[in-house]
Structure 1
Amino acid sequence: MNLLTRYRFLTLAVIVLSATMLLSGCNSETKQTTRIETNKTHHVSRLLQTDLIAANGNGADTDLSITVGPRIVIKQELGRISIPYMDFVTEQTGWAVKSGVDHKLTLLQTKDGGSHWAEKQLPGWRVQGLKFISQTTGWVLVDDDCKSNNKGTVICAKEKLLHTKDAGKTWITQWENAASNVSNQDWNTKTIQFPDQNHGFVFVHKQMLLTNDGGQHWKKVNFDNTQFKPSHMSFPQSNTGYVTGVTEGSHPKLLVFKTTDRGVHWKKQFVLSESGEVWSSLGIDFSDVNTGWLLTNQEGMLSGDLYLTTDGGKHWSKQSKQRTGRPRPTSLDLIDANRGFISLDPGAGPIEGGIWSTNDGGKSLNNIAENKGWGIHELQAFNKDSIWAAGNGFNSSDYLMHSADGGKTWGQSYPPLHPVNHIIMSDKLHGYGIGIQSSQQQLLQTNDGGKTWSALTSLNGYSQLHNISFIDPNHGWMIVTKQGPTHHLTQNLVTSDGGRTWTPVSTDMDQGMSSGFNSMYLNFLDHNNGVSAEFQGSGLRIIQTKDGGISWQESFKDPKLTSIQGFTMLSLTEGWYTTYGSERKKEQINIFHMKDGKHWNKVGSIPGYDWNTKALSFPDTKHGWLLLARWVAGVDTLGSEQYRLLSTKDGGKTWISQDFTESLYLENNVQMTFTDDMNGFLTSPASMLQTEDGGLIWTVLQ
């Protein structure tokens, strides 16, 4: 399942779970810094209703006013991106197409192996193919004039083949037809092939077109078989190419055709047909005119056969039987008769994808990306060491990666690194973050206040990095989980060299508990004192340490608190949390405050059945922020999430409410961290924003 399909699946799930959806109209702009609309502040009563808990435990209902502040306008479309196609002409020079939640297409280009990427706007609405043959000359196949209806179905009017001679600065349309409204990427990422600048081939509408003049004129390829529908192709030389596909009808066959005259004539080379069985092709790839792979798929059986030829297709030998569904092979790249790679995408999960590698022509394959959580939808290998891959995450944006050692180690090339799971600042300049799009085990650091991030170390031996806390640029702690002999072990790691090396100081923090540790908060106050909170099946549990994390003692436990949405602790005794629940026949968000380490008092409640807490941050006893979100239905679209930021300067007695525009999209896993009353961050798998004025203006960092 590609990223767009996953996004639609998750969106539909939200709609089914929502009891009511409201309509909302918001403004949308297109830059990188947010601004505030002025002269819009006024008072609205009864929007925040608070129960003040008296000292004797008797509550009194009190209506407080909430100030509606100026709207926060995001001037750049934020949200998850997809990178459905990439193409490299050398190890250093390559292109990719990026698509955002606004469906605007962007052409990415690198000339230095991915260290830097230039971005240019690309015409079209949905990309169906990409091919470059030099640093300046390329083609892209796009759908255009598209609309999305309220069922999530995208209908496009036109399909165009665009051509550039100046590296994407300008494009001309070489071919245009009515759109088929069928995604090419569901079955092939190599839909355009140009063996040289004049001779090219493209798949459209289950047929194959060819050109002999660089794309000025196109005509349909004749295979002398009207029932044959091509699906995959490989051209190791300008005059020699191979095409595989299936025939339609009552007795379908899988066929392979070969041309030696640039597509003028085709000869059938391979036929697969078994009574009662339906076969299809998942790919064909030749490393030279004689050596090639063919991967078949037995429909409905999630299995297929990998074939190898070393004599130009005269003979095909079955190398091995492979699984062809969950995970699904997405691209083949054969280097020579012995070595090759196959990328894997898991679809909807919860299984993993990865990359198969072989050194014996495909007789045996090994997943060189096991336990990384990757879904790889395209792969391009230049030799046994240099590999480019485009991947996607179930809850994050797509990403581009490169390996220089045959897949032993990988580095994320795009998007630029930023934390996706957790962030902590030890001072105004130095900070640390957990997770990037391609690796949940990556630890990052910043030395410029969060504007840029660099990879610090990767803790691949752990299945999950939960939370991190630093008291200065050198000394920090982290809660992690690893697989033990009988159960998951939750450990506390410590560093004294700025996160370069980590040492376990507690071996099993959740020993004796019925369910595994699910850390939701960690805060060290000094070298000895720290506090952590976690959810488990029996409710909220707070634990403390007074010896630097070596031992932990339970300080609070309540089995009824199973619906906490936001949580933070300022010290060993003071903290805040929010829940979602029903009181006085109203659905509402409830805010609680603790000052003595034992008793939680209800500060207030925010009426609203459709708002949920995304994040909560209190850097001190007075200043706090609450990020809310709700689903808003669209008129011609599925809808989107609307965000609201509430802030307080008096310990939660009064609040200011500000709405983000509908262009803000932060994903489910949102972290909000304020280091003081002015400086804060919003991080998610999709975006990272920073404020330096207490939340009035937010700047997009990544």
Structure 2
Amino acid sequence: MTRRTWMWAAAVTTAFALVGCDTHVNGNATAVASVTPFKHTAQTTKQEAVSVINDRPLAFVGKPGITSTSATSIAVPVFTGAGVGHAAVNGQIIVTRNGGSTWAKAGTIDGQVQSLAFTNASDGVALTRSAQPVAPAVDARQRVTDAIYRTTDGGRHWARTWTVTRVMGESMLAQDWQVKLFAQSGYALVDGYLLHTVDGGATWRQMETPGQPIAFSAPKASELWLSTTTAPVTADGEVNKGVIELLHSTDGGAHWSVAVRTAPMRAWEAAVQFDPNAENYGLFLVKDLDSWTTTAYWTLNGGKAWKHAQPNAYMGRILQSEPTFTKSAGELAFVALDPGAAPFPGGLTAFNMHSGVISQVAQLPDWREARLTSGPKGSMFAAVSLTNGGMDLYRSSDGGKTWNVVYPADEPNVAVQFVTPNEGIGIGSDDLAGYIYTTDDGGHSWRTVRIMNGMFPTAIAYANASTVYVAAVEQVNNGQGQLHLLVSHDGGKTWTDLGASQLPASASKQLSVANVQTALAVSGDHFALTLVTAYPSVTLQSPNGIDWTQIATESSPLGIATAAYENPGTLWSSSVEQLQRPTKLQPGVYQTTLTWTSESHVERHVSLPKGYAALGMDWSGENGWVLAARSPFEVNQGMALFVTHDGGRTWSHWQTRSEDESVPQPLNLYPSGAVYGLSFVNLADGYLLTANGLLATTDGGHTWRYVN
């Protein structure tokens, strides 16, 4: 579910910032913030110094659950019948009993699970990888431990049955991690090792192969198709030029014959798959790292004869996933496009095994890398690395045209707002749609009450206990976005779209689904909205939520900003400046200036103590909470919560210890920096939305505990 993680923030900056300093009073460390009233007059206003008292430590308690942002490895599902299937996210094994619609936790394994295989609902194996940098970390070398684990109780408990540890560099060759079980016999490919078991995964032995294995497909226990290179990858990850061969064995790997042989190349990938429903169909995709040319080889008669072509759809600096066949697709093989860091959109293609023609099934711009597999009743699943970080497990029931996230479970990933300690609204989005959620148990569970295809929510504002608004950006054909406000008069159960908003040209030309953040406030017929884009921010007001008038435009020096409204006429915003650039020897130093704007007039500037970048903010009347980090890029360096109950005249200051690993990660890092969603209901109860999940406080922000 990181889905597209919209950042809930805004910025109205000023022409100058006053820098705070650190002093000591009676031997105790006291941070000092500076406050300057500003009335747009020619007179010089007096600067006020406000002490910020370090009351108690700031603490984050509990173990976070897995969210789409914190997911770094997903093993695609393996189904064994009657709707039962197993998958893995990081080291968490999950199980479904309804064909993949919903998933529950089963057990955990050390390391990141790369691939799973089950022969029935109880017996299975898992391939895992753990890696640690090798000091000094100058050449990206890592100490890598690959392992195989076995379970006999449906994934609840696991025993390690094979392992190897090596020091190695990162390689461009897309070598596969894959395991396949047939009752007692099975095969595993672990980063160049081809292994065989004859006792259901209890023991493994390495098989001898002609060349270094890259990928394999096993249509049945005795039959193997194996892609290899004659030029093994070096220990530092260098890919050398060699011949790529597709080998075939009908006796479990005892003997091999060459089915396809290429000219020498530096291989980027050599993925092979045979259709388990029609074993005569096979597709072999080979990518040349130097020319970025993909050659497709395919057979309709079990490998007796092969056709080949170089499809335009697979050319360029973009990989193709391992092909996947489904029962309902007939002669089609599905192949995902994996752009990685390349500036191309991800998507899904269909390769026609009879004609060799490739058609686009869906364009999926947030898919950076995907691994596909088939599921029950013609469904497909995809383990997807997302362009803005994190991973999700997707499911399609219509041949890949549309996809829905099935794990991690749907929950907010953009913003939350609570109206009572238990009741609140959350918003989230993925690459295809936006979502509105409600909760009545303090965020322990969320109900999806609105799905908006092609529309992505960015902010929430309560007008009263029952009336709540959501701002959303609709994706239109020309790449620009169209602002919408949705309203609910029953606490979020049902929603009405007020229609496309009429924005000034200066605002509408900057609005797109790729670069907008918003802060929203509503009271009666007074609507206020601040848009932060890659360009200067725009502050707007409206009498009806449709017709908007621009009242201010400002910029943030570093582009990292947060904002919150006291009410529709009063805005607190932050601007972050980098005073010292980070180096290898010392971290960067940041300065945050808070600006209080009333009816478009800047009234006050408040500089937080030197060394903090504000990443989240909430206000309710004169009560304000500002969450800030020593570094917006490495929040573990130190986090602080600044709290005021008198409109910013005096502040309390609670901070974590340096290098505190319990600090949750921000929602994302672009387009203009990390951000946290902060929502206080009263002086004691509040919520914090992070990349690690939702946290709650009942003591005003001193201690935060994970909700799930």
Q: Same fold (TM over 0.5)?
A: yes
What residue is the counterpart of 1:544 in the other structure?
A: 541
**Amino acid aligned to 2:628:** L
What residue is the counterpart of 1:202 in the other structure?
A: 188
Q: C-alpha distance in 2, partners of 1:320/1:186?
A: 20
Q: C-alpha distance in 2, partners of 1:266/1:176?
A: 26
Q: 1:394 aligns with which of 375, 387, 399?
A: 387
> Alpha-carbon deviation of 1:469?
3.0
What residue is the counterpart of 1:6 in the other structure?
A: none
Q: C-alpha distance in 2, partners of 1:366/1:473?
A: 50
**Contact 2:142-2:169 within 8 A present in 1 as well:** no
Q: Counterparts of 1:637-652 in structure 2 under 5 Å?
A: 640-652=636-648
Q: Counterparts of 1:150-161 in structure 2 under 5 Å?
A: 151=137, 153=140, 155-156=142-143, 158-161=145-148
C-alpha change, 1:672 and 1:63, in structure 2 (3 Å) is closer
Q: C-alpha distance in 2, partners of 1:582/1:258?
A: 59
Q: C-alpha distance in 2, partners of 1:650/1:701?
A: 29
Whether 1:335 aligns to 2:326 is yes
What residue is the counterpart of 1:50 in the other structure?
A: 34
What residue is the counterpart of 1:555 in the other structure?
A: 551
C-alpha change, 1:539 and 1:341, in structure 2 (3 Å) is closer
Q: 1:571 aligns with which of 567, 578, 587?
A: 567
**Contact 1:294-1:306 within 8 A present in 2 as well:** yes
**Amino acid aligned to 2:695:** L
Give TM-score, length-normalised by structure 1. 0.81
C-alpha change, 1:182 and 1:207, in structure 2 (3 Å) is farther
What residue is the counterpart of 1:511 in the other structure?
A: 505
What residue is the counterpart of 2:471 in the other structure?
A: 479
Q: Counterparts of 1:70-469 in structure 2 under 5 Å?
A: 70-77=57-64, 80-90=70-80, 92-99=83-90, 105-112=91-98, 113-123=100-110, 125-143=111-129, 146=132, 149=135, 151=137, 153=140, 155-156=142-143, 158-179=145-166, 181=168, 187-194=174-181, 196-204=182-190, 206-223=192-209, 225=210, 228-248=211-231, 252-273=242-263, 281-287=270-276, 288-318=278-308, 321=311, 322-323=313-314, 326-335=317-326, 338-348=331-341, 350-358=343-351, 361=354, 363-382=356-375, 385-426=378-419, 428-436=421-429, 441-462=434-455, 464-469=456-461
Q: C-alpha distance in 2, partners of 1:617/1:510?
A: 27
**Contact 1:393-1:437 within 8 A present in 2 as well:** no
> Alpha-carbon deviation of 1:628?
0.6
Q: C-alpha distance in 2, partners of 1:560/1:177?
A: 50
What residue is the counterpart of 2:613 in the other structure?
A: 612
Q: Deviations over 1:230-249 (max 9, x none)?
A: 21111111122211122228
C-alpha change, 1:508 and 1:613, in structure 2 (3 Å) is same
Q: C-alpha distance in 2, partners of 1:58/1:77?
A: 47
User: What is the DSSP-based 3-state SS (H/G/I as helix, E as strand, rest coil) of the residue aligned with 2:47?
Assistant: strand
Ranges in structure 1 where 5+ consecutive residues have no aligned partner: 4-41, 100-104
Residues paired across the two proteins, number:
640
C-alpha change, 1:297 and 1:486, in structure 2 (3 Å) is closer
User: What is the DSSP-based 3-state SS (H/G/I as helix, E as strand, rest coil) of the residue aligned with 1:459?
Assistant: strand
What residue is the counterpart of 1:522 in the other structure?
A: 520
**Contact 1:384-1:406 within 8 A present in 2 as well:** no
> Alpha-carbon deviation of 1:438?
6.0
Q: Counterparts of 1:548-697 in structure 2 under 5 Å?
A: 548-558=544-554, 565-581=561-577, 588-595=591-598, 597-602=600-605, 604-609=606-611, 611-621=612-622, 623-631=623-631, 640-660=636-656, 661-667=660-666, 668-697=674-703
C-alpha change, 1:674 and 1:394, in structure 2 (3 Å) is farther
**Contact 1:142-1:161 within 8 A present in 2 as well:** yes
**Contact 1:495-1:502 within 8 A present in 2 as well:** yes
**Amino acid aligned to 1:551:** D
C-alpha change, 1:570 and 1:73, in structure 2 (3 Å) is closer
**Contact 1:86-1:94 within 8 A present in 2 as well:** no
What residue is the counterpart of 1:14 in the other structure?
A: none
Give TM-score, length-normalised by structure 2. 0.80
**Contact 1:331-1:377 within 8 A present in 2 as well:** no
**Amino acid aligned to 2:518:** M
What residue is the counterpart of 1:23 in the other structure?
A: none
> Alpha-carbon deviation of 1:624?
0.9
> Alpha-carbon deviation of 1:384?
7.2
**Contact 1:418-1:436 within 8 A present in 2 as well:** no
> Alpha-carbon deviation of 1:370?
1.5
Q: Deviations over 1:354-405 (max 9, x none)?
A: 3223456573334434245123422111367311111122334311122222
User: What is the DSSP-based 3-state SS (H/G/I as helix, E as strand, rest coil) of the residue aligned with 1:236?
Assistant: strand
What residue is the counterpart of 1:700 in the other structure?
A: 706
> Alpha-carbon deviation of 1:487?
6.3
**Amino acid aligned to 2:497:** T
Q: C-alpha distance in 1, partners of 2:423/2:146?
A: 49
C-alpha change, 1:362 and 1:500, in structure 2 (3 Å) is farther
Aligned-residue sequence identity (percent) comes to 20
**Contact 1:114-1:414 within 8 A present in 2 as well:** no
**Amino acid aligned to 2:616:** A
C-alpha change, 1:618 and 1:255, in structure 2 (3 Å) is same
Q: Deviations over 1:531-580 (max 9, x none)?
A: 0112367744321111x213122333457888572211122322212223
Of 661-670 and 318-327, deviating more is 318-327
Q: Deviations over 1:616-664 (max 9, x none)?
A: 110222x11111112499xxxx994532212112222222222244322
**Amino acid aligned to 2:53:** I
C-alpha change, 1:481 and 1:353, in structure 2 (3 Å) is same
**Contact 1:519-1:532 within 8 A present in 2 as well:** no
Q: C-alpha distance in 2, partners of 1:487/1:508?
A: 17
User: What is the DSSP-based 3-state SS (H/G/I as helix, E as strand, rest coil) of the residue aligned with 1:457?
Assistant: strand
**Contact 2:337-2:370 within 8 A present in 1 as well:** yes
User: What is the DSSP-based 3-state SS (H/G/I as helix, E as strand, rest coil) of the residue aligned with 1:651?
Assistant: coil
Q: C-alpha distance in 1, partners of 2:269/2:704?
A: 50
What residue is the counterpart of 1:27 in the other structure?
A: none
Of 80-89 and 467-476, deviating more is 467-476
> Alpha-carbon deviation of 1:273?
2.0
Q: C-alpha distance in 1, partners of 2:304/2:688?
A: 59
**Contact 2:636-2:663 within 8 A present in 1 as well:** no
**Contact 1:130-1:190 within 8 A present in 2 as well:** no
